[in-house]
Amino acid sequence: MPFLLLTADNSVKTCPIEIASYDYTKGWEDAMVQLGWKAGPEQYAPVELLEYAIAADKAGFDLLDVSDHFHPWSEAGQCPFSWTWLGAAAVQTSKIRLGTGVTCPIERYHPAIIAQATATVSCFAPGRTYLGVGTGEALNEYPVTGKWPDYEERLERMEEAIRLIRDLWSGQKVSFDGKYYQTHKAKLYTLPASPLPIYISALAPHRARFAGKYGDGLFTVGGKKPEVYRQMIKNFEDGARKAGKDPSHMPRLIELNVAYTENIDAAIQEQIKYWAGTYIPALFNQKIYTPTMSQENGEAVGPETIKQTGCFSSNPDEHIQFIQQYIELGFDVIIFHSPGPDQSTFIEHYSRDILPKVRTMTPSQPVASSP
């Protein structure tokens, strides 16, 4: 359907494109790959995290993603409201693209609220806003709703939520009668300032087809074997083609754990202290719903596990080689997650030593669809 945009003088105009055919890579032509910074509200207080976002913008990172949690992964962590934080980041930055990495618009949030929230952020950061979505974790949904549906139901909810969000972004009155969500002449009176892409999370190859079919891009995390990503991207592209879309115009985002420091032991301890739960697959599908439960499960994670899934080194060449393997697999948006111990120094040194050398790399072309 046509997309309505809110202009600077508060008038409304019809965007001369269709959502489904919009090239969300427009404006990225100057770089072969896009390089992002992970904002971790599960670790940092909101004002401190905002200072790092401002530094990342000034340092030349192209994109940031921020988690959207109700609970952190550890009792030692923080957990501010990411949508408030995004509004602050939007007005305090000028170039960096920003959005959720990722939010779950199916349980503790009604999809209409996420449609409204993203539209509002885009008014502060026109042309710089995206929406990353996933099926969530019990850690964030169960404590406030008492519900944790099985994966198949969550996937059904996601498909319905995406349709409703896009319907509301059209600026029309929406009476939606779905299996899980209903609206009655609901309308967004503050419209997006620019078309908003939806990037869908997939942590396993068979789930990537859904992202290709219903999303505008793929969002995943690093640390798995290359064949996993080859199959993931193939499924993503197959899903996109079957939906009539060109996967070459659909970003493939991946979040990588890195530490660029002489103090590798301290960096690994920060990973374990705040993020060990993210290394446990059960956290993403079982009813593990408190930071204490996450932390207890994360006790099985040791330094060697951390090292095997990321790049923890003071040698810039090792980082470049590590990143290159993901670019060669076909990822064109690489987001770096470095939990510490010194975030400011990481942003400064990584942007100086690593980003310029990576920008000229060329992602793999989309694979041919299967017969």
Q: State the catalytic residues.
A: 69, 137
Q: What share of the chain is helix, strand, coil (3-state, %, to 5)?
A: 45, 15, 40
What is the C-alpha separation between 96 and 307, in angstroms, rounded? 29
200 Cβ neighbours under 8 A, 6+ residues apart: 132, 133, 134, 158, 162, 210, 211, 214, 215, 217, 218, 219
Q: Which residues pair with 198 in a beta bridge?
A: 131
Whole-number Cα distances in Å, 243 to 236, 248, 264: 11, 14, 45
Whole-number Cα distances in Å, 303 to 14, 93, 266, 308: 53, 35, 11, 9
68 Cβ neighbours under 8 A, 6+ residues apart: 82, 83, 100, 102, 103, 104, 140
